[in-house]
Structure 1
Amino acid sequence: MKKTIQALKRRQRRCQGAGSVLCYWWPYALITGNLVLVAFLLLDAPVGSYVTRTPELLESVGETITDLGKSGWIIFATLLIFFEAIAAYRLSGRIKARCQALLVAHLAAYVFFSVALSGLLANLLKRMIGRARPILYDDWTSFGFHSFAGSRFESFPSGHATTAGALMMAMALIAPPYRLLFLVMALWVGFSRVIVGAHYPSDVIAGLALGSGFSVATAIVFSRHGLLFRQRQDGWPVLRRPIPLVMRPNRTNMVFPRRGIPSRPEMAQRAE
């Protein structure tokens, strides 16, 4: 552990001099705050009164999608991948294989910290805030709060939406060409919590914003230690090296015989 901490400190000294990201955080916080406030004042009450009358078909769709927002499977999968990558790094004798294993380990660690730590923060906040869930709308309305009163008063922010926001933002930073797809997936997973009657829209918006912001902050921490990411001049984290998302075969040494013309191996066989 001591050697790991010293190595991280050395990496941090080498990666100093990156720009600040305050120019991104202020607009992000302002937009998020206004979206949560608008949803809280205009959307939560209609959703709370409608939650007991959700059509069965729509509710079944929401229940199918919402399980993707559980953090348990993500944490378990990333830990398994991380330890397998570390084992491959230690056992492999080729430099290229060791570098690939180290890259996979860094990817798994990044997703793990983004999802796990943002989930812990969301669980702490929802217990402290103590907002009543939509199932208690008739008694508490959408303005009911009761701190540390059990799971029925843990609506804000949504834990599933936080996990979805953290995972999809992490994937968007890892694979930028598919960021629009990850955005759509995060919205569907997040708002499936509204469909099943577990959260209000403002809970989901806050959860998505919290998770995605935490993934960006984790990427910035990684970049300042030279792990997986680097910071641009404006401070935004980007991958140190683009990850090949589509594997293409190496055709430099392949033979492409023309129609009617034998290939080199066939010509050698005929000569024999």
Structure 2
Amino acid sequence: MTSTFSKLRQRRQRHGKDHISPRWWPYALVAINLILIAFFILDAPMGAYATHTPNLLYPIGEKVTDFARSGWILVVAGLLFLGAFAYLRRPMPHRRRFQVIYTTHLAAYVFIAVAVSSLITNILKVVLGRARPTQYEEWGTLGFSPFRGDFHFESFPSGHSTVAGALMAALALLAPRYRVFFLIAGLWLGMARVIIGVHYPSDVVAGLAFGAWAAFVTAIAFSRYGLLFRFTPGRLPRPRRPFRLRTRPLSETV
């Protein structure tokens, strides 16, 4: 463990000494305005719709939303990290060792981005205590009951949308070639919470924006140690090694 931290310090000195922190205010300004637009224009019609209109898309939305649960993502990423880390103890060719180390970094990145954003969101949900659309007739869109600790008052921001934003933004950064696909998937995963009537649009926009921001921040932190990403001011973090969804046969990689 000591050697691991020592190597990280060396990498930070080598890769992070001239690292300039990005300017986040443009992203924050856009995100806040999108949340406010959704809050004042879309939330009330959505609340009325969810209360008085039969939801024919509920079965579809219920199945889609399960993909954005943090539990299975964290378990898979955690097991992948532990498995790859343990596998490093075995003797192997240099190229295979590099691939296994890359896998540990990849799993750690996804785990940290999803876990940290999900934890902060769940704390905010309890602190703010916004009433869900199911309580629209009684509380409206401005109904807040902080620290109530009730599922019906944990609407803002959306936890599922935060996880979707973090995961899909992480994948979009790792595989820029498929960036549009991942961004569209994140939007649908977030809006599935609106479809099933448990979140307002502003809850979803806030969750997606915060999850994506967490993925960006984690990527920048990794880039300061020369892990997975390289960072250039004014640009999104870029993967140090191209990530492909399709891999070559094992016989071609050894």
User: TM-score, normalized by length of structure 2?
Assistant: 0.93
Q: 1:235 to 1:21 in 2, by over 3 A?
A: farther
Equivalent position of 1:216 in the other structure = 216
Distance 1:177 1:79 in 2: 26
Residue 21 of structure 1 aligns to which amino acid in structure 2? P
Task: Give the conservation status (yes or no) of the 8 Å contact 1:220–1:237.
Answer: yes
Q: Give the alignment of 1:106-185 within 5 angstroms.
A: 106-149=105-148, 150-185=150-185
Residue 41 of structure 2 aligns to which amino acid in structure 1? L
Distance 2:154 2:54 in 1: 25
Task: Give the secondary-structure state (helix, strand or coil) at the position aligned to 2:230.
Answer: strand
Equivalent position of 2:201 in the other structure = 201
Q: 1:160 to 1:244 in 2, by over 3 A?
A: closer
Residue 160 of structure 2 aligns to which amino acid in structure 1? H
Q: CA deviation at 1:241?
A: 1.7
Structure 2 residue runs of 5 or longer lacking an equivalent are none
Equivalent position of 1:19 in the other structure = 20
Which range is displaced more, 202-211 or 8-17?
8-17
Identity %: 51
Q: CA deviation at 1:20?
A: 3.1
Task: Give the conservation status (yes or no) of the 8 Å contact 1:54–1:195.
Answer: no
Q: CA deviation at 1:87?
A: 1.9
Task: Give the secondary-structure state (helix, strand or coil) at the position aligned to 2:238.
Answer: strand
Is 1:89 matched up with 2:118? no
Equivalent position of 1:51 in the other structure = 50
Residue 200 of structure 1 aligns to which amino acid in structure 2? Y
Task: Give the conservation status (yes or no) of the 8 Å contact 2:84–2:103.
Answer: yes
Q: CA deviation at 1:56?
A: 4.3
Root mean square deviation of aligned Cα: 1.9
Q: 1:249 to 1:63 in 2, by over 3 A?
A: closer
Distance 1:143 1:38 in 2: 14
Task: Give the secondary-structure state (helix, strand or coil) at the position aligned to 2:199.
Answer: coil
Task: Give the conservation status (yes or no) of the 8 Å contact 2:55–2:196.
Answer: no
Equivalent position of 1:255 in the other structure = none
Which range is displaced more, 6-15 or 35-44?
6-15
Per-residue Cα deviation, 1:225-265 (whole angstroms, up to 9, x for no partner): 11111112546321112124434579x9xxxxxxxxxxxxx
Task: Give the conservation status (yes or no) of the 8 Å contact 1:51–1:135.
Answer: yes
User: TM-score, normalized by length of structure 1?
Assistant: 0.87
Task: Give the secondary-structure state (helix, strand or coil) at the position aligned to 1:57.
Answer: coil
Distance 2:216 2:155 in 1: 24
Which range is displaced more, 237-246 or 125-134?
237-246
Larger radius of gyration: 1
Structure 1 residue runs of 5 or longer lacking an equivalent are 253-272
Distance 1:174 1:4 in 2: 24
Distance 2:116 2:21 in 1: 23
Distance 1:219 1:9 in 2: 17
In the alignment of these two chains, the number of paired residues is 250
Equivalent position of 1:6 in the other structure = 6
Distance 1:247 1:69 in 2: 25
Task: Give the secondary-structure state (helix, strand or coil) at the position aligned to 2:88.
Answer: helix
